[in-house]
Amino acid sequence: MTDSLFSPMTIRDTEIRNRVMMSPMCQYSAEEGLATDWHRVHLGSRAVGGAGLVMAEATAVEPRGRITPEDLGIWSDEHAEALAPIAEFVAEQGATPAIQLAHAGRKASTTRPWDEGGPLQPDEGGWETIAPSDVPYPFENPPKTRRMTKGDIDDVIEAFADAAERALDAGFEVAEVHAAHGYLLHEFLSPVANERDDEYGGSFENRTRLVREVVEAVREVWPDDKPVFVRISGTDWIDDRPSWDREQSARLGPLLIEAGADLIDVSSGGIHRDQDLPHAGPNYQVPLAEAVRREGEVPVAAVGKITEPEQADALVRNDRADLVALGRELLRNPYWTLEAAHELGVDVEWPPQYRRGRFE
């Protein structure tokens, strides 16, 4: 039987009710890293709206790993306790609660996008950033970026593992390791940001070492019956110098599965302002996910300008993706999934509180 957008998917022993995944999207609305009512409504409403998997935004594994001071964090038990009611509510609606564990690396210490999104200096409440090399992200007047020592690398691996344990205690069923969009783990993958000449730089094997070690560390503390995802940038969109590209992503996929991942969530870009993005039309990133899925025989999530129910359904039916991640479309319409089921002629459960609004 051909899978479709509304076919359930079982990964390990975790069943996801359909193939609609809410993509992790930063809200920049935390208080000292703690989740607020905003996060409960933001994530909870998409679970009420029928999404199969609801992914909490990039959640910093340590304070210096935040993009902005308003980012979510999970570096203490207090942070996990603030997230626990949200995970519980999402699960009560029948969705699978998931969380993206992240470290911003050299793209940390900035202001929120609606506050210009520029670098935040230490005297303004910012902090020193860390990265594979002492080359800052090309902001105007960026904060100091320090090349990570082996001790720093070990600390980051431990921080991801500790964060995963806290996420599990908070009730999340899927942990996603963020290795995309120019943040720390992507910085190690890409020659654009990684100028090291030790065991974490240079060759493909060395540049991929840290993300593999992080996935192994997360898998070690994450239960065998629950999935681990990894989000990667399928390409840097940079052709005029050595960079990360589709071929390396396809090569990396099986290595991440071997390290303990179950699905690769394929996005793109973010490593440098010089990226040359193509016209971002419908499905513009899907070929990247397809390459990882096809060449590595790896389950993938596809994301990027997926807006229409038939479009999303076709990605699953035609074996182009296993999950369909929606971002902006779910910001516009938390109930997209319920409406998509109606449009596709699929009978799905509605929350009893909302049944009077169900399509006839």
Tokens coding 200: 């974490």
Instruction: Please answer whether residues 40 and 86 qualify as being in contact, where contact means their C-beta atoms are separated by less than 8 angstroms.
Output: yes
For residue 98, the one-letter residue type is A
First to last CA, the chain: 28
Query: How many other CB atoms are there within 10 angstroms of residue 187's CB atom?
Result: 30
φ/ψ of 100, rounded to 5, equals -100, 120
Residues 6+ apart with CB under 8 A from 110: 67, 68, 117, 118, 119, 120, 126, 139
Residues 6+ apart with CB under 8 A from 8: 15, 16, 17, 18, 52
For residue 208, the one-letter residue type is T
Distance CA 101, CA 123 (A): 28
For residue 140, the one-letter residue type is E
- SS3 of 156, please? helix
Question: Which residues does the annotation mark as catalytic?
Answer: 183
